[in-house]
Structure 1
Amino acid sequence: EEQVIELSELLKKMFGRYLSVEVMNSLIENPSALELGGGRRKVTIMMTDLRGFTALSERLEPERVVQMLNSYFEIMVDVVFKYNGTIIEIIGDALLVIFGAPQEMPDRARKAIACAIDMQNAMVTANQENRARGLPELEMGIGLNEAEVIVGNIGSSKRSKYAVVGRGVNMAGRIESYAVGGQILISESVKQGAGEVLRIDGQKEVMPKGAEAPLTIYEVGGIAGPYNLALEERDPAPAALALQIPLRYTLLEGKDVGRKDVEGFIIKLSKNSAEIICSGPVEILGNLKMNLGDVDEKLSTRDFYGKVIRLSEANTKTCVVRFTSVPPEVDGYLQALRKHAVKPGER
């Protein structure tokens, strides 16, 4: 009995920060699952990442960056444990989580999606805390993939960690890279695993790096059944501007990558996105580097970034861009425009 208690305490010290109470208890009952080595397992993989965090961290004191990350992870880790997810790694501002190991989880796809929605909705609390501390707001993108991977304790007898290895992990990261702040994107395998309980708000065909064929990814807006969760709307409808705002943009990827200083005009603006008329072609999910036009030099040289999330059906040169990284000077300018330069009756 004394050995069991000692083992229990050891497991809590080793894995208590990474596993929920339910998963921890299953390991205590079956400690052989922690022996060095691994096995193949079907799991749902979640990758999360904060949007524009690198640029944000460069503007803040290191102590403030750590404070902001710790507060953010405190909230997110609690949500992951609520759905019995296993935290594999915290990499800077990113989280790698799996559902279905070390404990079997038949409904892992649904659980992972419910967890992702809950995490996105919990960003409201995280940002309330940030505002109270005088810190900037954060946005998170999430990608989910279902795959067979190798999971287990990998390393040496002196140092090992519970890890997951396989192409499915890389694919989860690729899917997450297409997500904008507040968005959840899933693979076909996750959609099939979850069944008919999902609210799908959109789908896109992409060609991720390393993929052998195009991949269809789906944007999730909610899940029915016992979870009954939906993403909370946080970005107000865009306001039509009284005057078009000139800008210049550079394509960062796609067939026309590298085209610099292409002219465009912002015609509608919300807190997190803009509707833009482009003079050159853009691609769905393409990343843009932008600079404001007709402003003073200090403001015009401040780069801001966005991802094309929608193309207009009526006008192929009009697109909606979701901002991914905006310096405070540019954000202040844009939000002042949104409040004071909208068309009458469209505020």
Structure 2
Amino acid sequence: MSSDIQSGENATATQPEKATILVVDDTPENIDVLRGVLKSIYTVRVAINGEQALQRCFSDKAPDLILLDIMMPGMDGYEVCRRLKADPRTEGIPVIFVTAMNETHDEVLGFEMGAVDYISKPITPAIVHARVETHLKLRSAYRFIRDTFGRYLSEEIVDSLIDSPHGLKLGGEKRDVTVLMADLRGFTSIGERLPAETVVDMINIYLAEMTEVIQKYLGTIDEIIGDAVLAIFGAPIQREDDATRAVRCAVEMQLAMGAVNRIYQQKGYPKVQMGIGVNSGAAIVGNIGSKKRSKYAVVGRVVNTTSRIESYTVGGQILISEATRNACDVLLRIDNELQVMPKGITEEMTIYDVGGVYGDEELLLPDKRDEPFIALSNPVDVSVSLLEGKFARERFAGKILALNAAVFDMQVEQECPLLSSLKLTLADASDLYVKVIRQISDDPLHVHVCITYIPAEAEILVSRLLAENALS
């Protein structure tokens, strides 16, 4: 007996919630007829005039569909429909007019107000059921499309695909955009040391935070490749403040890394840092691909240059091009500027280390302070490899002469270009990754490098060196 009751409870719990139909009519007999036709399948709510109908619709529990009379005292059905369609909260609710006004011009006016269908009085129950069911299914399908594609595309692109008959047409146009690229420092090495499910969870936590910020600033996420994110500002909709919003977005993304790392700490995951590059310029944007597989994308040198700029960053840093700086209509906090020659670029370019955005809505990263070095009484020998992309070249010798928690003062046997990435192998065979941030001298070759990724065992060694030499 108890198992039968339990089975019945489970069946009830899994039953889908009934759709809610709002019947709006000033005649009690008409309301009773429609309620009698619908109540066995739907939850039926009632409003006896236009004002009451709007109150019902703007409540926390809005109806899924409205059956609306036209001829009512005070506010007529046309005006009710017009107001519903003018409000973002209710514009998506299907409205079916149920009326004796069935002349052609009446129907045309109803459709112009935003109604999806007409049912003539006196009603036929089968027609009421058929049309209500059809428009509820259409609304459900529309929601499914928005929810599904909204996980992969920006809201603006989804709107373009749904609303425009040419939304999927291949082709592009040239326009000025600002491109933002973000990447986690050293995440490839982290991924090699952790279980696959942990790596995926870490990426999902990170992307959840970053996606919220990018969408807040009206950016379009063009690509997600592992832990890297490419976002466009200026497509599909171009705005005058695209560059400013991109830089503000970058600052808030760096600030959001605090929340990401707090979640990682709670789950026992290692902390991570992110670098961001931002660049502005002309690009081709649009639907690219084939009839079977296409995507909304941005193509052009501006994207490649953004990638190069991002590759120069260390954790917690935002580097922007001169084009982006010039396009911003607010004062930026510039912490440093660098002259670089990215691969594929024929002329040296200036990039800027951004620490925040001033103005009415000030948004700033913590001030960067140079922490003093602690000299090592016994320099630490390391094996150094210059990295090209993800690949290490031949090894050469180096020594860590002094250090703080984030930067090493090193002597190296071979030249290490400014902003190049290095892999350091310690005596216990543990690896850590650094970026050259300052060239001190050529003879001997002497550089400062900033840590971009350090595993737990190497972090223990650095902490021990700091503690031992601070006391000496």
Instruction: Give the TM-score of the pair, scaled to structure 2.
Output: 0.64
Pair 1:268 & 2:403 matched: yes
- What's the offset of the Cα at 1:222? 1.0
Pair 1:176 & 2:297 matched: no
Residue of 117, 128, 145 corresponding to 2:279: 145
When residues 285 and 95 of structure 1 are mapped into structure 2, their CA distance, relative to the original with a 3 A threshold, is same
Does the Cα contact within 8 Å between 1:285 and 1:307 map onto a contact in 2? yes
Partner of 2:68: none
Identity over aligned pairs, percent: 41
Task: Map 1:82-97; keep pairs closer than 5 Å.
Answer: 82-97=216-231
Pair 1:102 & 2:102 matched: no
When residues 233 and 58 of structure 1 are mapped into structure 2, their CA distance, relative to the original with a 3 A threshold, is farther
Pair 1:332 & 2:460 matched: yes
Residue of 299, 307, 323 corresponding to 2:451: 323
Does the Cα contact within 8 Å between 1:185 and 1:218 map onto a contact in 2? yes
- What's the offset of the Cα at 1:244? 4.3
- Asked which structure has the greater RCO (Cα within 8 Å, sep 6+), the reply is 1
- What's the offset of the Cα at 1:9? 3.8
Does the Cα contact within 8 Å between 2:341 and 2:349 map onto a contact in 1? yes
Aligned-partner Cα distance in 2 for 1:217–1:308: 16
Task: Map 1:126-141; keep pairs closer than 5 Å.
Answer: 126-141=260-275
Instruction: Give the TM-score of the pair, scaled to structure 1.
Output: 0.85
> Which amino acid letter does the alignment assign opposite residue 267 of structure 1?
A
Does the Cα contact within 8 Å between 2:180 and 2:276 map onto a contact in 1? yes
Structure 2 counterpart SS, 1:261:
strand
> Which amino acid letter does the alignment assign opposite residue 17 of structure 1?
R
Aligned-partner Cα distance in 2 for 1:140–1:211: 25
When residues 196 and 118 of structure 1 are mapped into structure 2, their CA distance, relative to the original with a 3 A threshold, is closer
Residue of 34, 37, 53 corresponding to 2:187: 53
Pair 1:245 & 2:373 matched: no
Partner of 1:206: 340
When residues 236 and 216 of structure 1 are mapped into structure 2, their CA distance, relative to the original with a 3 A threshold, is closer
- What's the offset of the Cα at 1:87? 0.2
Measured against aligned partners, the alpha-carbon deviations of 1:211-238 in whole angstroms (never above 9, x if no partner) come to 1212211111111123411113588824
Measured against aligned partners, the alpha-carbon deviations of 1:108-164 in whole angstroms (never above 9, x if no partner) come to 111000100100111111011001001011111111110111111122333221111
Deviates more, 1:102-111 or 1:333-342: 333-342
Task: Map 1:16-55; keep pairs closer than 5 Å.
Answer: 16-19=150-153, 21=155, 32=166, 34-55=168-189
- What's the offset of the Cα at 1:239? 4.8
Does the Cα contact within 8 Å between 1:249 and 1:263 map onto a contact in 2? yes
Aligned-partner Cα distance in 2 for 1:322–1:280: 18
Residue of 181, 188, 191 corresponding to 2:322: 188
Measured against aligned partners, the alpha-carbon deviations of 1:284-326 in whole angstroms (never above 9, x if no partner) come to 212222233xx5xxx1x2232211112348x985432111232
> Which amino acid letter does the alignment assign opposite residue 408 of structure 2?
A
Partner of 1:309: 437
- What's the offset of the Cα at 1:69? 0.6
Aligned-partner Cα distance in 2 for 1:66–1:278: 37
Aligned-partner Cα distance in 2 for 1:274–1:323: 8
Aligned-partner Cα distance in 2 for 1:34–1:134: 44
> Which amino acid letter does the alignment assign opposite residue 159 of structure 1?
R
Partner of 2:296: 162
Q: Size of the alignment, in residue pairs?
A: 335
Aligned-partner Cα distance in 1 for 2:168–2:143: 14
Does the Cα contact within 8 Å between 2:401 and 2:408 map onto a contact in 1? yes
Deviates more, 1:215-224 or 1:322-331: 322-331
Aligned-partner Cα distance in 2 for 1:107–1:31: 29
Does the Cα contact within 8 Å between 2:210 and 2:253 map onto a contact in 1? yes
When residues 46 and 7 of structure 1 are mapped into structure 2, their CA distance, relative to the original with a 3 A threshold, is farther
Aligned-partner Cα distance in 2 for 1:285–1:130: 28
- What's the offset of the Cα at 1:29? 6.1
Aligned-partner Cα distance in 2 for 1:81–1:57: 27
- What's the offset of the Cα at 1:20? 5.2
Deviates more, 1:65-74 or 1:149-158: 149-158
Partner of 1:125: 259
Q: Which runs of 5+ in 2 are unaligned?
A: 1-115, 117-134
- What's the offset of the Cα at 1:23? 6.8
- What's the offset of the Cα at 1:241? 4.1
